[in-house]
Amino acid sequence: MSRISPVTGLIVAAALALGACSGGSTPTAAPPSAAPASAAGGGGGGTASAVTIQNFAFNPPTISVKVGTKVTWTNQDSTGHTVTFDTGSDTSDTLANAATYDHTFATAGSFTYHCKIHPTMKGTVTVTQ
């Protein structure tokens, strides 16, 4: 059972290159339909996480990530929204439909943010070591 065919090796390599990291033991051709096909940026060490902006809300409203994680917000509303940190440390431009904004969290802490256009839209990113 130790023999691995070249074809299997290619499939595994392709899956790894695509970042298919769900840990399935059987390589399949099923694409992750929910994940936006954003560019896989370089840089080692960090992981990635995603927040969707939909129906005037951040989803999930609270996420926990490790230091070094890049979080990407994607606006799925037709209405423009922003991702603006309450401290004023960073903000996106107004994101049109399908636009994205990302922020890499280099320090631990709890970072609250909101939408400048709709102040009732709030979210939190909790960053741990």
With contact defined as beta carbons under 8 Å apart, do 59 and 53 qualify? Answer: yes
Q: Which is nearer to Cu ion, 15 or 102 (CB)?
A: 102
Give residues 14-33 in contact with Cu ion (rule: CB under 5 A).
none
> Strand order in 70-75's β-sheet?
58-59, 48-53, 70-75, 100-104
With CB under 5 A as the contact rule, the residue among 66, 70, 118, 122 that binds Cu ion is 118
50 in contact with Cu ion (CB under 5 A): no
**Min CB(105)–Cu ion separation in Å:** 21
Q: Which is nearer to Cu ion, 81 or 103 (CB)?
A: 81
Q: Which of these ranges, 24-32, 35-43, 92-100, 120-128, lies near Cu ion under the rule CB under 5 A?
A: 120-128
With contact defined as beta carbons under 8 Å apart, do 65 and 106 qualify? Answer: no
48 in contact with Cu ion (CB under 5 A): no
Helix (H, G, I), strand (E, B) or coil at 13: helix
117 in contact with Cu ion (CB under 5 A): yes
With contact defined as beta carbons under 8 Å apart, do 8 and 28 qualify? Answer: no
Helix H segments across the chain? 6-17
**Binding region for Cu ion (CB under 5 A):** 81, 115, 117-118, 121
